[in-house]
Amino acid sequence: MAEGIFKKLYGKRVFVQSAGVRHDTEIDGFAVAVCAEINVTLERHQSRSFEEMEKWGDDISSFDLIIALSPAAQRVALEYTRYFSLEIEYWPILDPTGLHEDRASILDAYRMTMNQIKQRIRDRFGKTLLNVTD
């Protein structure tokens, strides 16, 4: 969600790449659904881990900032600071997976997470010239 929201807000002015601690083969359908509500398309997004980024040729040292959205991602990101000059930020964002039983409450949890991410991005990187539905 974070990569898609960031690209919607800022376009291609900044390079952003999403990565997780582990590789999940599919993008979460609930994330796809709530992001579609604000015209952020995730269907073609490729899920990848930090390890896969390196295998695919991404140079972690070329990044200026890593924003971790979970404690596990923060730990992995901090390991990279042993070798590279990187700024690491941790944004404690609600993990909406497994919180609720019915579809409506699951989607509400995902919307809350999406809104937290969107607000943290705006707070950190400022206003945008692109229009995004609030």
Tell me the CATH number at 96.
Answer: 3.40.50.2300
Each residue's pLDDT tens digit, 61-102:
888 999 999 898 899 999 999 999 999 999 999 889 877 789
Residue-wise pLDDT tens digits, 26-69: 778 899 999 999 999 998 887 788 888 888 888 888 889 999 99
pLDDT at 46: 75
In a domain, 131, yes or no: no
pTM: 0.84
Q: Determine the structural domain holding residue 100 and report its residue range.
A: 2-125
Write b or e for each residue in 17-53: b if 16 or more Cβ atoms lie within 10 A of its Cβ, otherwise e: ebbbbeeeeebbebbbebbeebebebeebebbbbeeb
Residue 79 lies in a domain: yes
**pLDDT > 90: what percent of the chain?**
53
Domain count, the chain: 1
Q: Which residues contact 97 (CB under 8 A, 6 or more apart)?
A: 28
